[in-house]
Amino acid sequence: MSYVIADPKKCIGCKTCQIACVEAHSDNNIFLAEGDLGFNPRLKIIKTEKVTTPVQCRQCKIAQCVKACPNGSLAHDENGIVIVNEETCIGCKKCVVACPFGAMYMGTVYKDGEKVQQPVLQVKTEGKLEPKTKVVALKCDTCKGREGGPACIEACPTRALYIKE
């Protein structure tokens, strides 16, 4: 099982890896809920006084996120990579809570620039029920299917990111 990991001694916090991730996944309509429209990296940069490093999915063999998913929207593919089925994900956030590495994120689904609504799920706003915005789980998929492998590794100027076997 392989996954992308960072050497915090080499990371300078430039966020080039996040930009490369966004580019690699630009064909979908998922965006980070707390981010800007169109910016949807599958990794976060953690900064403290002493260290800066990207945090990405470790593609766990016994993945707690997969176990926590109530409807099977997270599963291992044929190569052992944990994949999110964005069509069936219900946005419950159980995977986010279950991940011991903090590598799961939630994103709002957009189509043609508009938020996708889930008519079955509703929220109460000013005394009336309205459709709930569709939110799904996001995580590193090692740029599955991308020629050249993970975009973040290719883009990192300090070579802080590498594949861990």
Residue 152's pLDDT is 97
Higher-confidence residue: 50 or 28?
50
Residue type, 35: G
Give the Cα separation of 23 and 150 in Å (integer). Answer: 11
φ/ψ of 113, rounded to 5, equals: 80, 0
Domain count for the chain, please give it.
1
Residue 33's pLDDT is 44
pLDDT tier for residue 23 given thresholds of 50, 70 and 90: confident
Portion of the chain with pLDDT greater than 90, in percent:
63
Q: What single-letter DSSP state applies at residue 116?
A: P
Residue type, 141: D
pLDDT tens column, 106-138 = 888 777 767 788 766 677 777 777 777 888 899
pLDDT tens column, 138-151 = 999 999 989 999 99
Asked if residues 143 and 150 have their Cβ atoms less than 8 Å apart, the reply is yes
Question: Can you give the pTM of this predicted structure?
Answer: 0.83
Give the Cα separation of 109 and 116 in Å (integer). Answer: 6
Give the Cα separation of 25 and 140 in Å (integer). Answer: 10
> What domain range includes position 134?
3-164
